[in-house]
Structure 1
Amino acid sequence: MRLVLVGGVAALGVCAGMVAASASPGGARPTHAGSTRGSAGLDPAELRSALDAVHRAGVPGVFAEVRDDGRTWRGASGVADVATGRPVRPDLRHRVGSVTKTFTAAAVLQQVERGRIGLDAPIGDYLPELVPGERGRRITVRMLLNNTSGIPDYLPYAFPSLRAFPSLPDVSTESLDDNRFRTFRPAELIAMGLSAPPTGEPGGPTGVYSNTNWLILGELLKEVTGLPAEEYITRNVIARAGLRHTGFPKGPRIEGPHARMYEAFYGLIDPPRDYSVYDMSWVGTGAALVSTMEDLNRFYALLLDGRIVGRSSLAEMQRTVPVRALDGSMIEYGLGLHRVEAPCGTFWGHDGTVWGAGTMSLTRADGGRQMSVAVNLIRWNRPDASGKPQPHPIDGAMKALYQRAMCGPASAASAP
Structure 2
Amino acid sequence: MKSTLDSAALDAAIEDVHRAGLPGLFAEVRDGDQVWRGAAGVADVSTGRPVTAGMRHRVGSITKTFTAAAVLHQVERGRIGLDAAIGRYLPELVPGERGDAITVRMLLNHTSGLAEYLPYAYPSLKAFPVLAETGPQSLDDHRFTRFDPVDLIGMGVSAPAAGAPGSTPGLYSNTNYLLLVQLLEQVTGTTAERCITRDVIERAGLRDTALPAGTHIDGPHSQLYESWFGMIDPPRDYSVYDMSWVGPAASLISTVADLNRFYDALLAGKIVGPSSLEEMRRTVPVVSQEGRVIEYGLGLHPMEGPGQDASGQGTFWGHGGTVWGGGALAMTRADGRRQMAVAVNAQRWNRLDSAGRPQPHPVDGALAAFYQVAMDG
TM-score (norm 1): 0.88
Which of residues 379, 390, 404 in structure 1 aligns to 2:373? 404
- TM-superposed deviation, 1:206: 1.6
Q: SS at the partner of 1:277? A: coil
What residue number does 1:384 align with?
A: 353
Q: CA–CA distance in 2 between the matches of 1:306 and 1:165?
A: 38
Q: CA–CA distance in 1 between the matches of 2:29 and 2:61?
A: 20
Structure 1 residues 310 and 167, CA gap change in structure 2 (3 angstroms): closer
Which of residues 93, 96, 107 in structure 2 aligns to 1:133? 96
Matching of residue 256 in structure 1 with residue 219 in structure 2: yes
Q: SS at the partner of 2:36? A: strand
Q: CA–CA distance in 1 between the matches of 2:204 and 2:130?
A: 44
Q: CA–CA distance in 1 between the matches of 2:212 and 2:236?
A: 21
Matching of residue 100 in structure 1 with residue 63 in structure 2: yes
Cα-to-partner distance string for 1:46-65 (whole Å, 9 max, x where unaligned): 10111110000111101000
Q: SS at the partner of 1:66? A: strand
Contact in 2 for aligned 1:65/1:373 (Cα 8 Å): yes
Matching of residue 60 in structure 1 with residue 13 in structure 2: no
What residue number does 1:369 align with?
A: 338
Which has the higher mean CA deviation after the structures are superposed, 77-86 or 158-167?
Answer: 158-167
Unaligned ranges ≥5, structure 2:
308-313
% identical aligned pairs: 66
Structure 1 residues 207 and 168, CA gap change in structure 2 (3 angstroms): closer
Structure 1 residues 182 and 99, CA gap change in structure 2 (3 angstroms): same
Structure 1 residues 289 and 321, CA gap change in structure 2 (3 angstroms): same
**Count of aligned residue pairs for this structure pair:** 370
- TM-superposed deviation, 1:320: 0.3
Q: SS at the partner of 1:339? A: strand
Matching of residue 160 in structure 1 with residue 127 in structure 2: no
What residue number does 1:219 align with?
A: 182
- TM-superposed deviation, 1:40: 3.3
Cα-to-partner distance string for 1:277-302 (whole Å, 9 max, x where unaligned): 00000001210000000000000000
CA-based RMSD: 1.1
Matching of residue 284 in structure 1 with residue 253 in structure 2: no
Cα-to-partner distance string for 1:265-322 (whole Å, 9 max, x where unaligned): 1000001000000000000121000000000000000000000000110000000001
Structure 1 residues 105 and 65, CA gap change in structure 2 (3 angstroms): same
What residue number does 1:352 align with?
A: 321
Contact in 2 for aligned 1:166/1:387 (Cα 8 Å): no
Unaligned ranges ≥5, structure 1:
1-38, 409-416
Which of residues 44, 49, 52 in structure 2 aligns to 1:86? 49
Cα-to-partner distance string for 1:185-239 (whole Å, 9 max, x where unaligned): 1101000001110000001132110000000000000000001101110111101
- TM-superposed deviation, 1:166: 7.0
Contact in 1 for aligned 2:119/2:128 (Cα 8 Å): no
TM-score (norm 2): 0.96
Structure 1 residues 403 and 200, CA gap change in structure 2 (3 angstroms): same
Q: SS at the partner of 1:351? A: strand
